[in-house]
Amino acid sequence: MGQPIWLATDLTKHSYYVITSDLTPLEDWQQQYDIHGHAESILENNPNSHDLACAIFQLNRSIDFRERLLNKLYNFKRIPGIYGNKHHERMSYLGIIKPLLKSKLDKIRNNVMHSVTYPTQNISEVAELSEFTWYFLKSTDLIASRAARALELHRFLDDEQEEWLEVSFDPANWDINIRGKTLSENILQENSEQTIQIDTHKLEREDDLTYFHGKLLGPISAKQSLMRIYFSAL
């Protein structure tokens, strides 16, 4: 353990931008469009009820594969305090997606699987699901195509002074490291309701500013807040 400090949480409420990220191989996140394209081709060829059922399966596969990719990249189960047993429930909790589309697709798919004959689906309904699936893929393309590793905030205090924070994330276990330079008055030596705790291995004061570098320890609410900032910044 290094020297513990408590950082005012106001500093984490500013807008961040991505400074470091890992690119995902193109074929890994384009695959879901290929599956979606298969469903689209079915709808374009005067489908019967069996064809429509196949299209629904393909749409569901497209979303399932995208969710698996995102979980592989971001290890949602490791994020502290996240609720939900399914991928799309966890992503909804983090503000990445809305769960209605996936739930609707699952319901229709289950009806198809447990029916002796293929239930007749309205082609316009399946076409609507196809469109929403496309929007789902588009809305998650950025986080699927790259995984951010660090976010940064700069804020000018005056013409000569600047404070900044760099927040680094390790999705393998969701350790969060923070380093930065901020007004010394934002560095506290004891806990309060509006602080986050950092175990620092470097702490240096420079006039009115303090440089620090360490691992975020808590509270969980602070980690969850940073998780939402992380995904909103992507």
Q: pLDDT category, 70, cuts 50, 70, 90?
A: very high
User: How many distinct structural domains can be found in the chain?
Assistant: 2
Q: What is the pLDDT of residues 115-143, one digit of tens each?
A: 555 565 688 888 888 888 898 899 899 99
**What does residue 44 show for φ and ψ, rounded to 5 degrees?**
-85, 0
State the alpha helices, DSSP H only, in the chain: 26-43, 49-74, 87-93, 100-113, 123-145, 220-233
Range of the domain at 127: 25-144
Whether residue 108 is found in the same domain as residue 219 = no
Q: Give the Cα separation of 139 and 127 in Å (integer).
A: 18
CA-closest candidate to residue 139, choices 106, 101, 174 = 101
In one letter, which amino acid is 225? S
Of the pLDDT bands very low, low, confident and very high (cuts 50, 70, 90), residue 44 is very high
Across the chain, what does the average pLDDT equal?
A: 83
Task: Examine the fold and report which residue of 88, 123, 144 is the final residue of a domain before the chain moves on.
Answer: 144
